[in-house]
């Protein structure tokens, strides 16, 4: 993390330390240090769209089409490419609901303004 911070500062960039921590966590989550390069990313994730978003877009997409690969579109980059909400924050939750018995012919209730007003 100190090396990343030093490189950024030498280029005149100020980056919040929490972002550097996230980057370091991503680089080391497999147990070895992987660079944020096309080689490191290919070892981190098997997402075609994620790889294509970084470098050699046409090559990754051509290979995926040729070999019939699919992408589950789980990550942030993939969802941005597809124009879908990313699975982060409130978009990560999915509501599972088992409905009670649904009556196919429900009784209609009179609306409030249709009932006679008692005086």
What band does 66 get if pLDDT is binned at 50, 70 and 90? Answer: very high
CATH 1.10.260.40 fits 46-101, yes or no: no
Query: Which one is predicted more confidently, 89 or 16?
Result: 16
Q: How many CB atoms lie within 10 A of CB 52?
A: 21
Query: Which one is predicted more confidently, 44 or 75?
Result: 75
Model confidence pLDDT, tens digit, residues 16-51: 888 888 788 877 877 888 777 666 666 666 688 877
CATH 1.10.150.390 placement within the chain: 46-101
- Contact assessment for residue 29 and residue 47, using Cβ atoms and an 8 Å cutoff: no
Q: What is the DSSP string of 30-96?
A: TSS---SSHHHHHHH---HHHHHHHS-HHHHHHHHHHHT------SHHHHHHHT---SSGGGG----
Sequence-distant (6+) residues with CB within 8 A of 40 are 27, 34
């Amino acid at each position: 993390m100190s090396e990343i911070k030093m490189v950024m500062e030498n280029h005149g960039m100020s980056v919040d330390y929490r972002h550097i921590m996230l980057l370091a966590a991503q680089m080391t989550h497999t147990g070895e240090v992987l660079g944020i390069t096309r080689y490191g990313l290919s070892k981190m994730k098997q997402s075609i769209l994620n790889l294509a978003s970084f470098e050699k877009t046409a090559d990754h997409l051509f290979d995926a089409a040729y070999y019939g690969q699919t992408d589950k579109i789980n990550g942030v980059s993939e969802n941005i490419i597809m124009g879908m909400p990313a699975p982060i924050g409130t978009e990560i939750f999915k509501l599972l609901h088992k409905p009670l018995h649904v009556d196919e012919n429900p009784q209609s209730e009179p609306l409030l303004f249709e009932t006679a007003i008692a005086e």
